[in-house]
């Protein structure tokens, strides 16, 4: 279930499946150098200094941990690190490394200076983490031969490398692993003007006629996430080519996004279903997560991981110890009036309400 949910997170809000040609387009839109990367100004400056210093010393840079919500450019940033260093990139993921031997096999084949990118590193198996600790610190893996009391560990030196780890849940990383990263960067959501720059760049690469007002409309519905902005751009492009003259204006973008059920605030079908159930069926709450999930016909983890983070960030929903509660903004967004006696949620709430 967790794998399915996080895969849905990575894919965005429009297509329920990630077709091969869609992935190819996303890859083509990725910037190749730090100078081409839009947004994340402070992270880019910090990373540039670290990489330039490493190149001057002639040694691999410190290990890098990239954290933040899906779609903000963690994978792209890891690819850029390898390009800036003039080396190759080896890609794997935490869920794919189930045993210590899996990781040892990867590490033992790395060339000196290579960058190893581990996506969703927080989902790596615990035995593999123990191997990674030593590899990151001492550039060594211990290969265990035999079983039981007669087992022996044979140290195997590996070439100095740079680990680029990406995680959407930095809090799930064990402290010993987190502390071994020399540089930790948190990627933040993008401002609308930054998303407009992303959209204009993508439009040039896709040879799409995107007007300024069209870019503004799409950026405002993209949840502060470049991946979603690019997905919406491609869907609006389809609409413009089939039902308009191929030019993306504000009116064309609005019509297309209405067709794809993305409203003015960027809420999609699932978001509105969760809010609608919370307001219409439960009077604004509080209501437990499981009950709310049943009301919208989804698994509790789907509601919690896919829908809630954006609804909370948009100020439409609060998670309290008593359950989920709608905010005044939620009532206004759906054009509903709170029932008599409804009270606003407390200003202090935790993120673990159920």
CATH number at residue 255: 1.10.8.60
The reported pLDDT for the residue numbered 129 is: 87
Residues 45 and 171 in one domain: yes
For residues 245 and 320, membership in a common domain is answered with: no
Known catalytic residues are 74-75, 119, 168, 227
Determine the distance from the C-alpha atom of residue 173 to the mean position of all C-alpha atoms in its chain, rounded to a whole number. Answer: 16
What are the pLDDT digits (tens) for 171-183?
888 888 888 899 9
Same domain, 278 and 217: no
| Dihedral sign for Cα atoms in the order 175, 178, 179, 185 | negative
pLDDT of amino acid 22: 59
What DSSP line would sit under 213-224, residue for residue?
HHHHHHHHTSTT
More confident call, 147 vs 187: 187
- 173 domain residue, yes or no: yes
- 12 is a domain residue: no
Domain with 103 in it: 40-186
Q: pTM to 2 decimals? A: 0.82
Q: What pLDDT does 133 receive? A: 87
In a domain, 161, yes or no: yes
239/276 same-domain check = no
Q: Quick one: 78 and 93 in the same domain?
A: yes
Residue 179 lies in a domain: yes
For residue 236, is pLDDT > 90? yes
Q: What's the mean pLDDT when you consider all of the chain?
A: 84
CB atoms within 10 A of CB 133: 14
Tell which wins on pLDDT, 192 or 147.
192
Same domain, 310 and 212: no
Q: Answer yes or no: is 95 within a domain.
A: yes
- What is d(CA 279, CA 337) in angstroms, rounded to the nearest whole number? 9
The whole-number pLDDT of residue 146 equals: 55
CATH of the domain at 138: 3.40.50.300
Same-domain pairing of 157 and 218: no
Q: State phi, psi for 180 to the nearest 5 degrees.
A: -85, -5
Q: What pLDDT is attached to residue 306?
A: 81
Identify the burial level of 244 via C-beta atoms within 10 angstroms of its C-beta, where 0-12 means exposed, 13-18 middle and 19 or more buried. Answer: middle
Q: Check whether residue 284 and residue 216 sit in a common domain.
A: no
Give the torsion sign (CA, 72, 75, 80, 85): positive
Residues 49 and 157 reside in one and the same domain: yes
**Is 145 in the same domain as 242?**
no
Give me the number of domains the chain comprises: 3
CA separation for the pair 172, 181 (Å, rounded): 15
């Amino acid at each position: 279930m967790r794998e399915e949910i996080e895969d849905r997170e990575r894919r965005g809000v429009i297509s329920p499946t990630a077709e091969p040609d869609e992935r190819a387009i996303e890859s083509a839109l990725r910037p190749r150098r730090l100078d081409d990367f839009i947004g994340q100004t402070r992270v880019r400056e910090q990373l540039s200094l670290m990489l330039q210093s490493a190149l001057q010393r002639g040694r691999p840079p410190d290990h890098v941990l990239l954290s933040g919500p899906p779609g903000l450019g963690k994978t792209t940033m890891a690819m850029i690190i390898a390009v800036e260093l003039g080396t190759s990139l080896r890609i794997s993921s935490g869920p794919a490394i189930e045993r210590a031997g899996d990781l040892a096999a990867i590490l033992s084949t790395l060339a000196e200076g290579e960058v190893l990118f581990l996506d969703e590193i927080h989902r790596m198996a615990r035995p593999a983490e123990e191997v990674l600790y030593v590899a990151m610190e001492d550039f060594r893996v211990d290969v265990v031969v035999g079983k039981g009391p007669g087992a022996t560990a044979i140290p195997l030196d590996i070439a100095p490398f740079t680990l680029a780890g990406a995680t959407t849940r930095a809090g799930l990383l064990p402290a010993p692993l987190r502390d071994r990263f020399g540089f930790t960067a948190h990627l933040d959501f993008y401002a609308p003007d930054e998303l407009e720059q992303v959209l204009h760049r993508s439009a040039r690469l896709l040879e799409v006629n995107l007007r300024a007002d069209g870019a503004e409309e799409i950026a405002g519905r993209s949840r502060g996430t470049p991946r979603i902005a690019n997905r919406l751009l491609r869907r609006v492009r389809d609409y413009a080519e089939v039902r308009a003259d191929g030019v993306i204006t504000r009116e064309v973008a609005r019509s297309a996004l209405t067709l794809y059920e993305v409203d003015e605030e960027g809420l999609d079908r699932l978001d509105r279903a969760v809010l609608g159930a919370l307001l219409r069926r439960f009077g604004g709450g509080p209501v437990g997560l499981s009950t709310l999930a049943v009301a919208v016909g989804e698994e509790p983890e789907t509601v919690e991981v896919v829908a809630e983070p954006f609804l909370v960030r948009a100020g439409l929903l609060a998670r309290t110890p008593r359950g989920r509660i709608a905010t005044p903004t939620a009532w206004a967004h759906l054009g509903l009036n709170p029932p008599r006696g409804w009270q606003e949620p407390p200003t202090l709430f935790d993120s673990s309400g159920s």
